[in-house]
Chain A
Amino acid sequence: MLRVRSLTTHYGGIQALKGVSLHVDTGEIVALVGANGAGKTTILNTICGMVPASSGEVLFDGKPVTNAAPDRLVRMGLSQVPEGRQVFAPMTVLDNLKLGAYARPRAEKKREMKSDLEFIYETFPILKERSKQHAGTLSGGEQQMLAIGRALMSKPKMLLLDEPSVGLAPLVVKEIFRVISRFRDLGTTVLLVEQNARASLGIADRGYVLETGKILLEDAASELLINKEVQRAYLGKGYRHVWE
């Protein structure tokens, strides 16, 4: 579904991505793990056309979309849930959700809006309860659910999720990841960027480990979870045994 080849990105004189290649097959959940500043968000933003690629290529659904406009990508079925939720605080939950369908053809929207909303409410029952409330009054976890719900309203083939667990309580994180893992059954492909490597690899099929703008490892998520280097660097395991 998504293919990235030797992607490089610069912020001014600083090279943020140094030749990143990755792919996500249809129906897969792929986790991209790495420390703060490794370039995870930059990868998503470059794929989405929000940050220009200096070189390399991005293919979505077999079509070249390197540096394509974000709205074109949304229309093609690629939707991003940005880091920090970024819901529209003064608007109601319902209006936030409706905005998610903005890029879809009017006739289709009219026809399917009701069933789509029902689907979102089924996935996140709390959003139905809060549908008339202003988004700004929601808790962090609820806002994250709203952000995901809003992205789903564009009926994406693929979702790019940027740090969905950041700043949330452990129980809420668990709930969010439970919902993401359900996307597999719904046929929505997911690229998940996370600092919470354990949780994201726990639900992913495959994963990539990113360090200073470079991919260091690609493997089945189950294999990455037992990789000693990954455990030390990202899973917080083994510190007790490290004395050198």
Chain B
Amino acid sequence: MGIWNQRYETMPREELQQVQLERLQAIVNRAYENVAFYKRVFDQAGISPEDIRSLDDLARLPFTTRENLRDGYPYDAFAVPLRDVVRIHPSAGTTGAPTVCGYTVNDIHNWSELAARVLSAGGVGKEDVVQVFFGYGMFSAGFGFQQGAERIGASVIPASADDPESRITVMRDFKITALVGTPAYALSVADQIEEAGLDAGTLPLRVGLFGGEPWSEKLRERIEERLKIRAVDYYGLSEMSSPGVSWECDHKCGLHIAEDYFIAEVIDPKTGQAVDEGAQGELVLTSLMKEALPLLRYRTGDLTSLDSAQCLCGRTLARMSRVNSRTDDMFIVQGISIFPAQIEAILTEMDGSTPQYRLVIERHGASDELEIQIEVSERVFTDTATKLDQMKDRVVNRVRSSLGILPRVKWVEPRTLENLTGKGRRSIIDNRE
């Protein structure tokens, strides 16, 4: 479908590299001068911003990790004074150490521009009516799509996670043509359409942009079949742009990376060395335009591969393969990134010691569900059922308030979980396709 920014999305790669070099040098200069963390790591590594004379020199810079961001919380990673930051999205972190993303006016502009590219490529134009099913609180994709659709001139309904009844009414009454949300939402919408006795083929729905959690080609086929739409994938992360790092075009042959905004590298997560083009490895992103939160060589933890061959759609931007796995044990439920360590911290806090537990993720029509199975310890076992229920409620409430997702908690018999895994106390079973 549409190419939103003809100039940058179809720029000859050699010109694009000039733009990347200019922007890389500028952001390295800003990061070094304005962010104490970067000044320190540059100085320690014996590198000066002037040493970045070509794009290849990027590999000389140290990586930035999520831990670095956590250490910088709340303001230390910002490259501008707080009065220039117009929006702040904090996010819950492991063991009570949150991270934060800040945006200047220009950052918000750029974010909207990138979201507009994602939506245009997905087939959304100014005549479209878009229903955004992302929550607008805990994570930022909802805001990004909202701004992007408004930039395009489409009509947007910030449906968030409203009640299913009104969702279908709104969809029918406002002739929704485009859906944005998690793939699980797409399935639940399909269920509701059926329950309402409607035929998806008679609704004006045309396209859907889904992401926020991994989904397979098989699931894509099912969504397209059931909703009678074209379903496309996109990729983003709040630290860079969510959405807006990369997106699928008509040809669904990988996700085009916004290379005028980001330099993408794929490395071997163990050695930190670049892998050959086409080989799988960890995606490392360098932001080129961010003002409030410049990030150099940020390790995303997502596994992908790169392809810089020209695409049939006319875009010259390189493509990355769809992300389906990670280097660590982070998982995404209902669009929210969760590390098992975050849940472990909550369980430990409840009980004083860490119980044996298991996380089971299922896709249940309406949405993804996280079930926390906890072994009842001998000590707790002797307690009354009421006490167990109280503890269960406390775990549910704590997880909901700190991570923004409502889990199910199930007590299981002692010693039923420990032998299932050699990975210590935790194990994750992801039953989603």
Contact = CB atoms under 8 A, between A and B. Distances in A.
Interface of A: 3, 5-6, 8, 18-23, 55-56, 208, 214-219, 223, 226-229
B54 A216 contact: no
A19 B23 CA distance: 12
Contacts of A223: 106, 109
A215 B25 contact: yes
Interface of B: 15, 18-19, 21-23, 25-26, 29-30, 33, 49-50, 52-54, 80, 83-84, 104-106, 109, 289, 291
A215 B50 contact: no
Nearest to B57: A6
A23 B25 contact: no
B106 A227 contact: yes
Shortest beta-carbon contacts, A-B, top 10: A6-B53, A228-B84, A21-B22, A19-B50, A214-B29, A215-B26, A18-B50, A21-B21, A218-B22, A23-B18
Contact of A216 (B30, B105, B109, B289): B30
Given A19-B25, A219-B106, A219-B289, 15 more contacts: A6-B21, A21-B22, A22-B22, A208-B22, A214-B50, A215-B25, A215-B26, A216-B26, A217-B26, A218-B26, A223-B109, A226-B106, A228-B104, A229-B84, A229-B291
Contacts of A229: 80, 84, 291
B166 to A, nearest CB: 38
24 contacts: A5-B53, A6-B53, A6-B54, A19-B49, A19-B52, A20-B25, A21-B21, A21-B25, A23-B22, A214-B25, A215-B22, A215-B26, A216-B26, A216-B29, A216-B33, A217-B30, A218-B26, A223-B106, A226-B106, A227-B104, A227-B291, A228-B80, A229-B80, A229-B291
Which of B29, B49, B54, B289 neighbours the largest number of chain A CB atoms within 10 Å of its CB? B29
Nearest to B51: A19
A228 B54 CA distance: 29
A6 B24 CA distance: 11
Q: Is the interface of A mostly helix, strand, loop or mixed?
A: strand
Contacts of A55: 53
Contacts of A21: 18, 21-22, 25
A136 B110 CA distance: 49
A167 to B, nearest CB: 30
B387 to A, nearest CB: 54
Given A219-B289, A228-B104, A5 B49 contact: no
A19 B53 contact: yes
Contacts of A217: 26, 30
A44 B179 CA distance: 51
A214 B22 contact: no
A178 B282 CA distance: 51
Contacts of B30: 216-217
A226 B86 CA distance: 13
B247 to A, nearest CB: 21
Nearest to B289: A219
Contacts of A228: 80, 83-84, 104-105
A228 B108 CA distance: 13
B23 A218 contact: yes
Contacts of B49: 18-19, 214
Contacts of B291: 227, 229
Contacts of B29: 214-216
Contacts of B19: 23
Contacts of B23: 218
Contacts of A219: 106, 289
Contact of A6 (B15, B25, B33, B104): B25
A196 to B, nearest CB: 22
B21 A5 contact: yes
Contacts of B52: 19
Nearest to A242: B83
A20 B28 CA distance: 12
A5 B18 contact: yes
Contacts of B50: 8, 18-19, 214
A219 B53 CA distance: 20
A22 B80 CA distance: 24
Contacts of B84: 228-229
A8 B54 CA distance: 13
A216 B25 CA distance: 8
A23 B23 CA distance: 11
A5 B105 CA distance: 29
B293 to A, nearest CB: 15
Nearest to B7: A25
Contacts of A215: 22, 25-26, 29
B429 to A, nearest CB: 47
Contacts of B80: 228-229
A181 B106 CA distance: 25
A55 B53 CA distance: 10
Nearest to B109: A223
Contacts of B83: 228
